[in-house]
Chains A and B, each alone.
Chain A
Amino acid sequence: MRQVPLLMILGACSGEGAPGADSSASDVREPLTELSAPLLLRRMSLDLRGVLPSIDELDAVEADATQLPIIRDQYLEDPLFEERLVKLLAERWHTRLDEFEIQYYDYQMAPDQEFEFERSVGEEPLRLIAHVIAEDLPWTEIVTADYTMANETLAEIWPLDYPKGGTGWQKSTWQDGRPPVGVLASNGLWWRYVTNISNMNRSRVAAISRLLLCQDMLSRPVSLTGAVALTDEDATSAAIREVPACVACHATIEPLAATLFGFWTVISYNPLELGTYHAERETLGPRYLGFEPAYFGQPIEGLVDLGVAIANDPRFYSCAAEQAAELYWRRPVELDDFARIDALRVSFLEQGGTYKNLIREVTDTAEYRVGAFDDAATDDEVDRELTWRLVTPDQMSTTLEDLTGFIWTYDGFEQMANDNPGYRILAGGVDGYSTTRPQQDPGVSWLVASKRLAQAASAYAVQNELELSGERKSFSVVTADDRPGDANFTAELERLHWRLYAIRPDADRLAAAEQAWTDMADQFGPTEAWSRLYSAMLRDPDFVAY
């Protein structure tokens, strides 16, 4: 296993074929060559905000790479950062489902409120976590907060004290007696990770363990054959206490499950049952399971203590480090990453346990900044590290909205954020149930989904800005009357390349774009030419990945 110091400064190394390693990153490790400063800023902006850097920001880092960490800190204070976190965390927490056991019509909502309902429910726990991160609060608050995050939709349907006159996502408090345990008290989490009468919260224990401790209990090998007669209910109940193969897991699962009976429902598919905390059922856990509440062998009172117990568990911090690395490196962590992950954990704790510092550390790693390999790279490194990462449908959607003002909606649905009737997993996204990792490579479904999105966004921009003389977002100086060779035309192309790709185009590249525009304009006119050219630019390999 390769041992790599966390903050070793080795200096940039420009290998053959490298995209231009001219930055002064604090953690460059040979033989991984870092991206150029503008490309690295582009990567950070897409990861931290879901939009491209501005022209001014690109100019700044191109002139002085030491501006990178300064601009990164600005990104961490940008409201877009919190919005981006919600979507990024969904890749891990898997709560942005298209369907829950309770549907929008159970609350007498209209069909065009369906998407708003689904996303509000699924994003509740994510919004809480994102709020904690964005406000630089201690990471422990995600399991100890005495509030949740809610919007107007949730305030209408759940027992929440939503700020009077408030709009959008606001801190809100539950009014049904649930204890202050952050996401562990969120309906959105338990509507995703359901249980039933016989399961008695055991599956939820597995979810907690995976999400907060990075311990996947369900990955443990277990054979049920022969251990006990599965048709004998009494025997299976006894086996949990007596048969070693069962006790190995259930000695931990049962006491944890006993803490969650306030969320245990006896009527399925009932809005009141699932929407309300049942404090009166808290004592049923020990009665039905036969185990007193405990956290990995340590007795606790119940759910009220669970958050604190998790917050004091060292695995809570190592898991945070591991998850941050996965989310920003855009790949699973492997055994070879152990030293790096542990260094991140130590630094995370030493710097006060705030997630923003962890993000800074992760985005300083060589694994994050890598743009190329030189000849000294091992096969393992080449195979493992992603030097070019496909933009997710969420990133594409927010980037194009920022660039053009266009967002693809239909009947109240955001088309890149759902799978019926939308195109989320076709475009490489995560549905949180059967697709749990973003797509890494271009494929046919992705191609055609991204093509239509680019065409729609381009048409919108050209129509608003060049035909209707509306607010300029995509285009700066060019008009429909400008032609290749005109100063404005050339300037616009140069500017678009810089804005979209963080690349200064050479003469050949500009000439190719101008010729394409001319070919299109000769047949279809200047505005259609811009629609087609801009669409092609939004499908360029330099745009759809980073």
Chain B
Amino acid sequence: MLNRRHFLALGSSGLLLPRRLLAAKTKSERKFFFIYCYGGWDTTMVYTPEFDNSNIDMEADAQQTEANGITFVTHDSRPSVQTFFETYGDRCCLVNGMEVRSVTHERCQRLLFTGTTDADADDWGVLMASNSGVVYPVPHLVLAGPAFSSENMANVVRVGDVGQLVELMDGSALSLSTQAFPLPDAAAEVLEDSFLQSRIARFQADHPAGSQARFGQLYGQAIDNLETLSALSGDVNLASEGTGCRRDIAQDAAAAFNAFEAGLARCALTRDDGWCSITWDTHTGNSYQAVHFEELYGYLNSLMADLDTRTSASGAPLKDEVTIVVFSEMGRHPQLTNGGRGHWTFTSALLIGSGIQGGQVIGAMNDNFEGMPVDLATGALDAKGSGLLPSHLGATLLQLADIDPAEFITQVTPLTAALAP
């Protein structure tokens, strides 16, 4: 998808975007699935074993262990974590000590997703979806969670936290009304849509330049994209049934993978609110973090097993094309207070799969539980290196997406140590 200036230049020259194009079987590109753990996870429970640091209140009966090159914290309450790293650790790069530079949820969320506090910045998923070499009907599929954009919001297809997109698409939304109406007859709706499309075509012809031209083109494209999504909706299965009081992250992953397989989307996002959706923001009751992590890693085990069975639109194993990012907008304070932990500006991120140099941990915490600088090229701790920021994560993802990070992030080098050669 082009920005406004590029679009208008093409419009005035008579060139228009193709109306409908699925991912060609001969061309494929990397896809990205984001799992956003909302509220701030306690990295000491899995990612940052600090048993030798008296400043850090580590969990009783937890211990440090290692699997496939990943050093992590294990505990009897979280067997799924151990299982995950024993099975998939060689495909994972754990990044520790990323400084978000805020401790408020709202601000940290934006910083994590965009690398900046600029209200108009696109997030990583939107950027990659909007600057793809392939035109997708549903460039960035947001199953749940935030999507930050200003100029590229048309590339974001939101399903809605309770699956509202599905009821709108199938028309059942019309019965969810105080004054309910039946769904129009399908053939009648075809006539309505057909007339609308003729009107859009006329609008495009009447407005060859300016915002109106862009509007007309994008309107027509949205109709085509909706048709494609509708035709494939049974395969993608956007309806989230959840598991009672929380989202089923493995089910969301399946929907995302379905969309990737069908060539519908490049990026997808879901939000994990933890056990019974109480969120990861455990100011009291830090023990809930254990439950959250156990459930999260249970889902991760399931979705990885699912991913490994799939084939992409190009014919290659889908696992070779999908990078999974698991992150949270902040960490939690190293010291317990009233049974919980406050916000902490340093967090971790887990990168899995395609393009990732697995079996490694990059970054570490110092005695004050602050992230230590690293050499971005080697991943080694280096006092003269760079303190890790969300913009480093973003630059790394953009590079994985074959997009020049410098076009969107200034003065930040990707964490190339995380990337497979």
Binding site for B on A (CB under 8 A): 17, 198, 203, 216, 218-219, 221-226, 229-232, 332, 372-373, 379, 382-383, 385-390, 406, 408-410, 415, 419-423, 425-426, 428, 433-437, 439-449, 451-452, 455-456, 459-460, 509, 512-513, 516, 519-520, 523-524, 528, 531-533, 535-536, 539-542, 545
Bound together, the chains give a CA A456 to CA B184 distance in angstroms of 10
Contacting pair B209 A223 (CB below 8 A) = no
Bound together, the chains give a CA A435 to CA B120 distance in angstroms of 10
Contacting pair B5 A409 (CB below 8 A) = no
Contacting pair B192 A532 (CB below 8 A) = yes
Q: Which residues 180-227 in B have Cβ within 8 Å of A in the complex?
A: 181, 184-185, 187-189, 191-196, 198-200, 202-203, 207-212, 214-216, 218-219, 222-223, 225-226
Contacting pair A223 B117 (CB below 8 A) = no
Contacting pair A532 B184 (CB below 8 A) = yes
Bound together, the chains give a CA A326 to CA B151 distance in angstroms of 15
Cβ contacts A to B, 17 pairs, < 8 Å: A219-B117, A225-B371, A230-B345, A383-B4, A420-B160, A433-B146, A434-B146, A442-B219, A443-B222, A444-B222, A448-B168, A452-B171, A456-B181, A516-B198, A520-B192, A535-B184, A541-B212
Among B69-77, B99-107, B301-309, which stretch is in contact with chain A?
B99-107
Nearest 10 A/B pairs, CB to CB: A434-B146, A443-B154, A441-B154, A516-B195, A387-B211, A532-B192, A388-B211, A383-B5, A541-B203, A448-B168
Task: Name the CB-closest residue of A to B215.
Answer: A388
Q: Say which residue of B99, B101, B147, B198 sits within 8 Å of A434 (CB atoms).
A: B147
| Extra 13 A-B pairs, beta carbons < 8 Å, given A426-B164, A520-B192 | A216-B117, A223-B99, A372-B210, A382-B210, A387-B211, A419-B160, A425-B158, A442-B222, A445-B160, A451-B168, A456-B174, A524-B188, A532-B191
B49 at the A interface (CB under 8 A): no
A118 → chain B closest CB, angstroms: 15
B173 at the A interface (CB under 8 A): yes
Contacting pair B150 A434 (CB below 8 A) = no
Known: A421-B164, A434-B146, A447-B226. A388 touches B212 (CB 8 A): yes
Contact bitstring B59-96, A, C-beta under 8 A = 1, else 0: 00000000000000000000000000000000000000
Bound together, the chains give a CA A409 to CA B219 distance in angstroms of 27
B178 at the A interface (CB under 8 A): yes
Contacting pair A231 B188 (CB below 8 A) = no
Contact bitstring B1-35, A, C-beta under 8 A = 1, else 0: 00111001000000000000000000000000000
Bound together, the chains give a CA A446 to CA B174 distance in angstroms of 16
Bound together, the chains give a CA A435 to CA B142 distance in angstroms of 13
Contacting pair B218 A433 (CB below 8 A) = no
**B99 / chain A contacts, CB cutoff of 8 Å:** 223-225
Q: Which residues 335-372 in B have Cβ within 8 Å of A in the complex?
A: 335, 342, 344-345, 368-371
Bound together, the chains give a CA A420 to CA B371 distance in angstroms of 38
Bound together, the chains give a CA A348 to CA B207 distance in angstroms of 36
**A524 / chain B contacts, CB cutoff of 8 Å:** 185, 187-188
Report which residue of A221, A225, A388, A455 has the largest number of chain B beta carbons within 10 angstroms of its beta carbon.
A225
A529 → chain B closest CB, angstroms: 8
Contacting pair B181 A455 (CB below 8 A) = yes
**A385 / chain B contacts, CB cutoff of 8 Å:** 211
**B369 / chain A contacts, CB cutoff of 8 Å:** 230-231
Contacting pair B209 A433 (CB below 8 A) = no
Q: Which residues 95-151 in B have Cβ within 8 Å of A in the complex?
A: 99, 101-102, 104, 106-107, 109, 117-120, 137-138, 145-148, 150-151
**A444 / chain B contacts, CB cutoff of 8 Å:** 137-138, 157, 222, 225-226, 229
Contacting pair B101 A448 (CB below 8 A) = no
Contacting pair A382 B55 (CB below 8 A) = no
B243 at the A interface (CB under 8 A): no
Contacting pair A545 B215 (CB below 8 A) = yes
B99 → chain A closest CB, angstroms: 6
B377 at the A interface (CB under 8 A): no
B153 at the A interface (CB under 8 A): yes
Q: Say which residue of A410, A423, A443 sits within 8 Å of B156 (CB atoms).
A: A443
Q: Say which residue of B102, B160, B174, B335 sits within 8 Å of A455 (CB atoms).
A: B174
Contacting pair B189 A532 (CB below 8 A) = yes
Bound together, the chains give a CA A226 to CA B168 distance in angstroms of 51
Task: Name the CB-closest residue of A to B3.
Answer: A383
Q: Say which residue of B148, B153, B216, B223 sits within 8 Å of A440 (CB atoms).
A: B153
Task: Name the CB-closest residue of A to B4.
Answer: A383
B414 at the A interface (CB under 8 A): no
Q: How large is the interface on B (under 10, 10 to 19, 20 to 34, 35 or more residues)?
A: 35 or more
Contacting pair B184 A531 (CB below 8 A) = yes
Q: Say which residue of B162, B194, B223 sits within 8 Å of A421 (CB atoms).
A: B162
Report which residue of B147, B162, B219 has the largest number of chain A beta carbons within 10 angstroms of its beta carbon.
B219
Task: Name the CB-closest residue of B to A427.
Answer: B168
Bound together, the chains give a CA A84 to CA B93 distance in angstroms of 50
A334 → chain B closest CB, angstroms: 10
**B387 / chain A contacts, CB cutoff of 8 Å:** 223, 225
**B104 / chain A contacts, CB cutoff of 8 Å:** 203, 218
**A226 / chain B contacts, CB cutoff of 8 Å:** 370
Bound together, the chains give a CA A439 to CA B153 distance in angstroms of 6
Bound together, the chains give a CA A385 to CA B120 distance in angstroms of 15
Contacting pair B212 A448 (CB below 8 A) = no
**A512 / chain B contacts, CB cutoff of 8 Å:** 195, 198-199, 202
Bound together, the chains give a CA A545 to CA B229 distance in angstroms of 24
Report which residue of B99, B120, B198, B209 has the largest number of chain A beta carbons within 10 angstroms of its beta carbon.
B209
Contacting pair A332 B146 (CB below 8 A) = no
Contacting pair B178 A448 (CB below 8 A) = no
**B158 / chain A contacts, CB cutoff of 8 Å:** 425-426, 445
B410 at the A interface (CB under 8 A): no
Contacting pair B216 A541 (CB below 8 A) = yes
Report which residue of A216, A387, A445 has the largest number of chain B beta carbons within 10 angstroms of its beta carbon.
A445
Contacting pair A442 B218 (CB below 8 A) = yes
**B342 / chain A contacts, CB cutoff of 8 Å:** 198
Bound together, the chains give a CA A545 to CA B216 distance in angstroms of 10
**A455 / chain B contacts, CB cutoff of 8 Å:** 174, 181, 184
A305 → chain B closest CB, angstroms: 27
Contacting pair A434 B191 (CB below 8 A) = no
Task: Name the CB-closest residue of A to B5.
Answer: A383
Contacting pair A445 B150 (CB below 8 A) = no
Contacting pair A388 B210 (CB below 8 A) = yes
**B229 / chain A contacts, CB cutoff of 8 Å:** 444
Bound together, the chains give a CA A7 to CA B103 distance in angstroms of 46
**A456 / chain B contacts, CB cutoff of 8 Å:** 174, 177, 179, 181
Report which residue of B162, B199, B211, B369 has the largest number of chain A beta carbons within 10 angstroms of its beta carbon.
B211
B154 → chain A closest CB, angstroms: 4
**A421 / chain B contacts, CB cutoff of 8 Å:** 162, 164, 176
Task: Name the CB-closest residue of B to A17.
Answer: B209
Task: Name the CB-closest residue of B to A544.
Answer: B219
Contacting pair B177 A409 (CB below 8 A) = yes
**A387 / chain B contacts, CB cutoff of 8 Å:** 210-212
**A523 / chain B contacts, CB cutoff of 8 Å:** 187-188, 191
Contacting pair A441 B210 (CB below 8 A) = no
B286 at the A interface (CB under 8 A): no
**B200 / chain A contacts, CB cutoff of 8 Å:** 541
Q: Say which residue of A232, A382, A441, A516 sits within 8 Å of B8 (CB atoms).
A: A382
Task: Name the CB-closest residue of B to A538.
Answer: B196
**B203 / chain A contacts, CB cutoff of 8 Å:** 540-542
B357 → chain A closest CB, angstroms: 25
**A420 / chain B contacts, CB cutoff of 8 Å:** 160-162
B169 at the A interface (CB under 8 A): yes
Task: Name the CB-closest residue of B to A528.
Answer: B188
Contacting pair A516 B164 (CB below 8 A) = no
Contacting pair A442 B146 (CB below 8 A) = no
B43 at the A interface (CB under 8 A): no
Bound together, the chains give a CA A189 to CA B335 distance in angstroms of 32
Bound together, the chains give a CA A531 to CA B179 distance in angstroms of 16
Q: Say which residue of B5, B137, B165, B195 sits within 8 Å of A448 (CB atoms).
A: B165
B155 at the A interface (CB under 8 A): yes
B187 → chain A closest CB, angstroms: 7
B334 at the A interface (CB under 8 A): yes
Known: A231-B368, A383-B5, A443-B156. A448 touches B226 (CB 8 A): yes
